[in-house]
Amino acid sequence: MFDRIVDHLAGLGAHIAVVTDDLQLTYAELAARVASCATELGGKRRLILLETRNDVDTLVSYLGALAGNHVVLPVPADSDYGSVLDVYDPDTVVRAGVTEFRHRPLHELHPDLALLLSTSGSTGSPKLVRLSRENLDANAEAIASYLDVRRDDRAATTLPMSYCYGLSVVHTHLLRGAGLILTEGSVVDDAFWTSVRRHGATTFAGVPHTFELLDRIGFDEMDLPDLRYLTQAGGRLAPERVQRFAELGSARGWQLFVMYGATEATARMAYLPPELARDHPASIGIPIPGGAFTLEAKDGMPDDVGELVYTGPNVMMGYAHTSGDLALGRVVDQLRTGDIARLRNGLYEVVGRSSRFVKLYGLRIDLQRVEARLQADGVDVICTDGDGLLLVAAANAEDRDVARLAEVASGLPRAAIRVIDVDAAPRLPSGKPDYPAVRELAADRAGAGSDSLDLRDLFADVLQLDPASIDPGQSFVDLGGNSLSYVTMSVRLERALGHLPAGWQSLPLRELQSTSRPRRWWGATLETSVALRATAIVLVAGSHAGLWVLWGGAHILLGVAGYNFGRFCLTPLPRGQRIRHLRNTIAWIAIPAIVWIAFALVVTNDYTAANLLLADKFLGPEDSMTAGRLWFVEVVVWVLAALALVCWLPIADRWERRRPFAFALAFLALGMALRYDAFGFGLGNEAWFTVLAFWFFAIGWAAAKSSTVWQRLAVTVVLAIGIVGYFGQPGRETLVFVALTLLIWLPAIRCPSALTVAAGLVAEASLFIYLTHYQVYPLFGEHQLVGVAAAIVVGILVTQLVMMLRKLIRVRGPRLLRSQAAPAPR
């Protein structure tokens, strides 16, 4: 059907395809609208983001996009899909039937790719499932076959079209020439049931929560003469409820199909034949036509139990994490479901989920089992883990002791259980449990009134934010952290948690809080970038003071600056936030530098007016040795300013998001061209101390964006080629090469905690040590060691003073503004 949608629809002629409360379309009329939409979208293949509602405009836009051989990315209307929009940069956005062509088609799209879906109906994550036309056809045919969908069937759309289950209802009924009753109504609305009766609905689909609602509204007493069957998927329905609805259907003349599936399988993998539901209510049944299951043995599991692995033509092409992945073909041929199952009497039964088994207090806990036990006691709960505890979000608990019930169900001590009272258990738009929301609620409640670890105050202090404004779901990067605040945060976080988790800067606060562990003096983690920053600034100060001759520290710092630029400025955040982060980073460097230069101009003869603009290398004087001391600060500021302009361009922003390593590599190529004077500037050794040393910055940037061994190897090779002969001093070249190679290949080192703290203090103060040491060490004459030590101490003290001033401004500034704005007493 999906290869010839318009022809398929047109061939069904005058039969009714779609009905709403105020509209009716035949298949021929629907075909005409779909063809018109496909024409409007144009012949060149596009990536189309489609805001979905259960209405005719959405249906026509969806089918029209597929008919035009475009790739569709459905998202719920009125949802927050900003991260998906930023990461994938769709060529076209369709809202309420209105098409917005954002730019000409830029994406490389695999010929088989047809549909992109978020897993479990979520919309906030840029991780998408890639589905082909073959996937859609195979799954629709299989489902229509075992459900026996007929031309006189009519399905009420109880689920969103952005969700694979909701789309599968659309696909199967259009495939067989059946009708769709498009409605946004809920099963708790009287208007929904009026529409069901008026239009003769023969079926509708539900997730477990739908069936809970049916129980509450007296569904078993409803008169629905046209109803032929119900379908259930989207999570496990309690066996007693399966049994009860199966018996109800048998008495009322309709059937219950319990189904099992995943977005990664386009929709369905298994179904339970209705005649077996009453006697085998805990089973997911048998594979759909064309599919097959195997059980893969797992350590610690009985012989007849294993992970359920599915194969079939409906298995996805693979995941997409960035727009570059849209060019990929099929990368998987089987689906590891993550569910633990067994085969009994020819039927598969899921007994747990690998990701739902957690180890708490030394016990292996089946969260699904605990949840089911509590629900059997009449409590509406969602169970998950967080902060090393069992988290139980409980609604309608009334006078029940939920903690005691959870204690019995899990075998955990009371101290390991945290009950969160909620008005309603958090759920995704698909109706599935929203486990991250439960963890977020637990973090919020903990921050509001418990003694457990709360990192919001720590993050607020370092980033100069109001603690109340920090969302536990945000990360250091999301909150505006940059390369300067990173060192402070990493040191203080290591102290708070007892270790430094890998990639902590991108982890939400609530996840960081759950990683706390006892601190050991010998087991601290020190990031290589921090270690290099501390070492390099000590080398710079010591070499300038004449304590030793180990040049190259500033060029190491330049590489570290590029590395941090790649990590903290080029993040998945929207373009506007990226530019704000860049602007703040530039200000953090430039403003202190200008203030110190202004002070030094008054008390010394070290600088000239050109230094106030951080432009000595542009404006001169060329013969001033002291005025050229700040070349490193000038290079970093002007490079960041130039890159901010580049990243502000939408086309550059899109390219960087699609190909982050290639984008960095392009700028590294530019840096190498400048290094070898390919443009004929003829600067010679002057390039050592100007923005033409940019290639060191670009090396660090490319290192930050390299994610494979081959990419890191490529960056290392470029570094090796570029460094040879650059200074004409083999020792200096070796020092810089070794340091930046460590940055490329070794993300962190283990060392005593005391050394981590010391290195963190020095690295944190590296900017102010660099700015002030020229004026400090000369005060100690021939006592170079004392002079260098004093310069480092002064830099650390100035850093702490600046942080205190910033904190004071953050705390007292708003109060002062409020007091000035308040009316004078009369």
pLDDT at 52: 93
Q: CA 58, CA 98: separation in Å to the nearest integer?
A: 10
439 φψ region: left (φ > 0), alpha (ψ -120 to 50), beta (else): alpha
In the chain, CATH 3.30.300.30 covers 361-449
pLDDT given for residue 116 in this prediction: 96
- DSSP code at position 631: H
Alpha-carbon distance of 312 to 288, in angstroms, equals: 9
Average pLDDT across the chain, whole number: 85
β strands within 478-545, DSSP E: 524-527
pLDDT at 419 over 60: yes
Pinpoint the residues of the chain covered by CATH 3.40.50.12780. 5-349
The predicted structure's pLDDT at residue 483:
63
pLDDT of amino acid 559: 96
pLDDT of 648 above 70: yes
DSSP E strand stretches across 90-156: 92-95, 98-101, 113-118, 128-132, 154-156
Choices 3.30.300.30, 3.30.43.10, 3.40.1160.10, 3.40.630.40: CATH for 361-449: 3.30.300.30
Judge whether residue 826 has pLDDT over 50: no
Strands 179-181 and 16-19: parallel
DSSP strands (E only) in 133-191 = 154-156, 179-181
Confidence class of residue 446 from pLDDT cuts 50, 70 and 90? low
- Would you state the pLDDT for residue 287? 97
Amino acid (1-letter code) at residue 593: A
- The pair of structure tokens assigned to 69 is 């051989």
Highest mean predicted confidence (pLDDT) among 185-189, 200-204, 488-492: 200-204
DSSP code per residue over 314-356: TS-SEEESSGGGGG-----SSEEEEEEEEEETTEEEEEEEGGG
**Range with the poorest average pLDDT among 16-25, 330-339, 506-515:** 506-515
The pair phi, psi for residue 680, each rounded to 5°, is 75, 30
Distance, in Å, from the CA atom of 161 to the CA atom of 183, rounded to the nearest integer, reads: 11
Per the model's pLDDT, the better-predicted residue between 449 and 39 turns out to be 39
Average pLDDT over residues 407-412: 78
Beta strands (DSSP E) in 243-402 are 255-261, 268-272, 286-287, 292-297, 305-311, 318-320, 335-344, 347-353, 357-360, 363-366, 380-386, 389-395
pTM of the model: 0.51
Mean pLDDT of 525-534: 88
Q: What is the pLDDT of residues 369-393, one digit of tens each?
A: 888 888 888 788 888 887 667 889 8
- Residue 762, judged by CB atoms within 10 A of its CB (0-12, 13-18, 19+), counts as buried
Residue 452 has pLDDT above 50, yes or no: no
In this predicted model, what pLDDT tens digit does every residue of 579-614 receive, in sequence order?
888 898 899 899 999 999 999 998 888 888 888 888
Confidence of residue 472 (pLDDT cuts 50, 70, 90): low
Q: What was the pLDDT predicted at 449?
A: 40
Percent of the chain with pLDDT over 70: 86
3-state secondary structure of 223: coil
The arrangement of secondary structure in 5-349, i.e. its CATH architecture, is: 3-Layer(aba) Sandwich (3.40)
Mean pLDDT (whole number) for 476-485? 72
Which amino acid does the sequence have at 392? V
Query: How buried is residue 253: exposed, middle or buried, by Cβ count under 10 Å (0-12/13-18/19+)?
Result: exposed
Contact assessment for residue 580 and residue 480, using Cβ atoms and an 8 Å cutoff? yes
Is the pLDDT higher at 429 or at 295? Answer: 295
Does the pLDDT of residue 684 top 90, yes or no? no
116-126: per-residue pLDDT in tens?
A: 998 744 444 57
| DSSP strand pairing (357-360 vs 24-26) | unpaired
Lowest mean pLDDT among 360-374, 625-639, 657-671: 360-374
Confidence of residue 351 (pLDDT cuts 50, 70, 90): confident
Average pLDDT of 66-80? Answer: 90
Q: CA-to-CA distance for 29 and 38, rounded, in angstroms?
A: 14
- Report residue 83's pLDDT band, with 50, 70 and 90 as the boundaries: confident
Q: Which of 45, 293, 1, 331 is nearest to 136 (CA)?
A: 1
pLDDT at 819: 47
DSSP designation for 103? S
Which position has the higher pLDDT, 794 or 680? Answer: 794
C-alpha gyration radius of the chain: 32
Numbered ranges of CATH 1.10.1200.10 in the chain: 456-519
3 state DSSP class of 477: coil
Give the distance from CA 789 to its chain's centroid: 44
* Superfamily for the 456-519 domain: ACP-like (1.10.1200.10)
Q: If phi over 0 gives left and psi between -120 and 50 gives alpha, with beta otherwise, what is residue 13? A: left
Q: How far is CA 241 from CA 249, 256, 397, in A?
A: 12, 11, 20
